[in-house]
Structure 1
Amino acid sequence: MANTWLPPAEYVDTLPRATAYACLYFTDTAGRPFQLRATYQTRQWQWPGGNMDPGETPWETAVRECREETGLVFTGEPRLLAAHFVTDRGEDWPANHIGFIFDGGELTDEQIAAVVLDPEEHSEYRLRTLDEWEREMHPREFARLVEIDRARKTGATVYVETGATGA
């Protein structure tokens, strides 16, 4: 079989589709993960972040989305905690979804008190221990939280896959 070279635009059309998101993972000074309650998704709890805009890097996305969703202006350096791959989510979202979870560090009491949520996206934020989060989250989502928290504590970057029903 002879190799057939395709022009880049045609070749790209043959590749699987994917979208990308980026977010920041925060804890308070006691190590309790900070999460936002979404008003518009089936995944109830999430970290400040969202889908990448054209021309944006994952890091730029995470910082922008954090500011838009919480009012917090993050000035730290990028430290990747995890890459997250979500398989095809069905007809409603006919593409894989790739995520970049960055370490946002510890929020002080003053920073937490200054959080201002966009009510169209999030109804509240919470800080909970992992044991408390386990009681509030779907098991697949909680497993992802545990992996991200472990990455933060160990300094290792993790890779997480989530199936269509856990997205």
Structure 2
Amino acid sequence: MKTNPHPSTCVDAEIFAADVELEGPPEVEFNPGIASRIPAKGSAGGALVRNTSGQVLFVVPMYKPFLDIPGGIADANESPKAACQREVVEEIGPDIAVGRLLVVDWIPRNGVWRDSHQFVFDGGVLTDEQASAARTHDDELTGVRFLSLDEAAPRIHPSLHRRLELAVNAAESGTTIYAEFGHAL
């Protein structure tokens, strides 16, 4: 029997293994070489975490000049939600549960980064006590900041600003939004 190919999927491991089994044997190429010609597309999962004042939790990476939200790039054979949960635990600890999907946003290639799908999940609202205790647990980060989206605007990419505005609206309205480069479609 096939087993879960990646231990950090958010689907129950037994259900996942059964679903993989139902798919049948690994697919082989009917026309050799076609799979290698299909473009690779990255994906990442991030968490919209807010405090009771509505400010968003941003992490301060040491490897780039912009703020970001907790989360990260999905590993091979890892779901965006599992990547988000893994990175949230690595970056700010296990106290934040990654909830429902708020936004799926396609972003175009940017320099060395290929086009990708950015998934934003609801990380909930922290109590005042939880928010004041928020710290980073990752050597790649130098800190965390709670900022309004307007305060964060000069320190984040405009597309992330647009994506987070959509995520806040989705969290408040109970909807899920599809976007392209931060614009809802």
Give the RMSD, CA atoms, in angstroms: 2.4
Which position in structure 2 is the counterpart of 1:84? 105
Distance 1:156 1:69, change over 3 A: same
* From 132, 142, 147, the counterpart of 1:123: 142
Aligned residue number for residue 7 of structure 1: 30
Sort the Cα spacing of 1:69 and 1:19 in 2 relative to 1 into closer, same or farther, 3 A. Answer: same
Which segments of 5 or more consecutive residues in structure 1 lack a partner in the other structure? Answer: 1-5
Ranked by relative contact order (alpha carbons within 8 Å, sequence separation 6 or more), the top structure is 1
Residue in structure 1 matching 2:119, options 100, 120, 124: 100
CA distance in 1, matches of 2:144, 2:110: 26
Contact 2:48 2:164 in 1 (8 A): no
TM-score (norm 2): 0.72
Does residue 94 of structure 2 align to residue 72 of structure 1? yes
- Look up the SS of the partner of 1:132 in the other structure: helix
Structure 1 match to 2:171: 152
* Among candidates 31, 36, 59, match of residue 54 of structure 2: 31
What is the number of equivalent residue pairs in this alignment?
154
Q: CA deviation at 1:135?
A: 4.9
Q: For structure 1, which segment, 131-140 or 66-75, has the greater mean C-alpha deviation from structure 2 after superposition?
A: 131-140
TM-score by length of 1: 0.78
For residues 31 and 64 of structure 2, the distance between their equivalents in structure 1, rounded to whole angstroms, comes to: 35
* Structure 1 segments (4+ residues) deviating >6 Å: none
Matched residue type, 1:71: G
Gaps of at least 5 residues in structure 2 are 1-28
